[in-house]
Amino acid sequence: MGIAIEAINLTKIYKSGTKALDNFSLVVPEKQIFSILGRNGAGKTTFTKIVSTILKATSGEAYVLGFNVENEEKEIRKRISVVPQEGRPFSLQTPFEHVFMYLVSRGWSILDSRRKALEVLDMLDMKAYKDTICGNLSGGLRQSVMLAMSIATEPELLLLDEPTIGLDPIARAGMWGIIQKLKSMGTSIFLTTHYMEEAEMLSDNVAIIDQGKKIVEGPVGEIKSKINASTTILIIGSVDLEELQNYGKIVKAGSTLRLFTDEKTSKEVVSKLLSEKEGISFSVRPISLEDVFIYLVGEVID
């Protein structure tokens, strides 16, 4: 399998002095869904902009579909399409007009643009809204317009920067279906998100990034197995941390504590928590990608 994106020691320091990427290296295989996870400000959008040829890196190298982002951007731009984070369509124009205009501006013929725009809007279940001005569409449908513009170009690589941000759960699930369909059609998809279940549900491979550095990379199952725990106990309330540490690793995320342990030990902890004073609430569940994320980037209590 080929490589869609290869980044080697990418560093990006903005004029303000903020270091958004710090010697960041990554390999994204072709024809897969690859997700990059991280908190707000972790460097996800900066990375996406660099590989989309929108932003210059301070140092390091990056290749997209085999082409260098610095001096072969024209070749890259023919083959990719981007949905920017929190991008919005024009309010007075319709979904059909957006897709049609974008295709013609990219060099498609009028006839092909018309045909393709209708085909893509149909594929996204938007045919009923094709002639409705975007100002009258819901947030989910507006986001679909941005996606429609991008996928209509038949890109080899589609870069989606937080494509489901602000969408309700049903609209988000609809977007997941579309992304999976695109993958089945052979498109390489690079996705940034901070929704863990989204990455877990969709991705063949994920990378977790924090403060511009890659923390871990690989298939979801493999990443989960990298932490020495099978069960998470989420605890809210005042507990004896020293005692709890005997049962596993504790990580603080906001006001919630997460105890990472195994299934057998978790039963002991549960009976102990049940016997504790009131004011503690807790839940037990198998390790999820979100837990792995918190485990890797959260505040560890030693």
Q: Is 104 in the site for other proteins (CB under 8 A)?
A: yes
Q: Is 54 in the site for other proteins (CB under 8 A)?
A: yes
Q: Is 101 in the site for other proteins (CB under 8 A)?
A: yes
Q: How far apart are CA 255 and CA 159, in angstroms?
A: 34
Residue type, 186: G
Which distant-in-sequence residues (6+ apart) come within 8 Å of 77 by Cβ?
53
Q: What is the DSSP letter of 237?
A: S
Binder of other proteins out of 74, 111, 240, 246 (CB under 8 A): 74
Give min distance, CB of 31 to other proteins, in A: 20
Q: What is the largest CA-CA distance in the chain?
A: 72
**248 to 277, contacts with other proteins by CB under 8 A?**
none
- Cα dihedral: 153, 155, 160, 166 (round 10): 30
Scanning 80-88, 117-125, 232-240, 245-253 for contacts with other proteins by CB under 8 A, the matching segment is 80-88
Size of the site for other proteins (CB under 8 A): 37
Q: Is 204 in the site for other proteins (CB under 8 A)?
A: no
Q: Is 49 in the site for other proteins (CB under 8 A)?
A: yes
Answer yes or no: are the C-beta atoms of 204 and 34 closer than 8 Å.
Answer: yes
Answer yes or no: are the C-beta atoms of 99 and 43 closer than 8 Å.
Answer: no
Backbone φ/ψ region at 11: left (φ over 0), alpha (ψ -120 to 50), beta:
beta
Q: What SS3 class is residue 152?
A: coil
Q: Is 122 in the site for other proteins (CB under 8 A)?
A: no
State which residue, 133 or 287, has the beta carbon closest to other proteins: 133
Q: Is 150 in the site for other proteins (CB under 8 A)?
A: yes
Scanning 25-33, 105-113, 189-197, 257-265 for contacts with other proteins by CB under 8 A, the matching segment is 105-113
Q: What is the DSSP letter of 93?
A: S
Give min distance, CB of 58 to other proteins, in A: 9
State which residue, 136 or 225, has the beta carbon closest to other proteins: 136
CB count within 10 Å of CB 249 equals 16
Scanning 130-260, the segments in alpha helix (DSSP H) are: 139-151, 169-184, 196-202, 220-225, 241-244
State which residue, 24 or 295, has the beta carbon closest to other proteins: 24
Name beta bridge partners: 7: 26, 62
Answer yes or no: are the C-beta atoms of 102 and 180 closer than 8 Å.
Answer: no
State which residue, 15 or 277, has the beta carbon closest to other proteins: 15
Q: Is 115 in the site for other proteins (CB under 8 A)?
A: no
Scanning 94-102, 210-218, 257-265, 267-275 for contacts with other proteins by CB under 8 A, the matching segment is 94-102
Residues near other proteins, by CB under 8 A = 49, 52-56, 73-74, 77-78, 80-90, 92-93, 97-98, 101-102, 104-107, 133, 146, 149-150, 153, 159
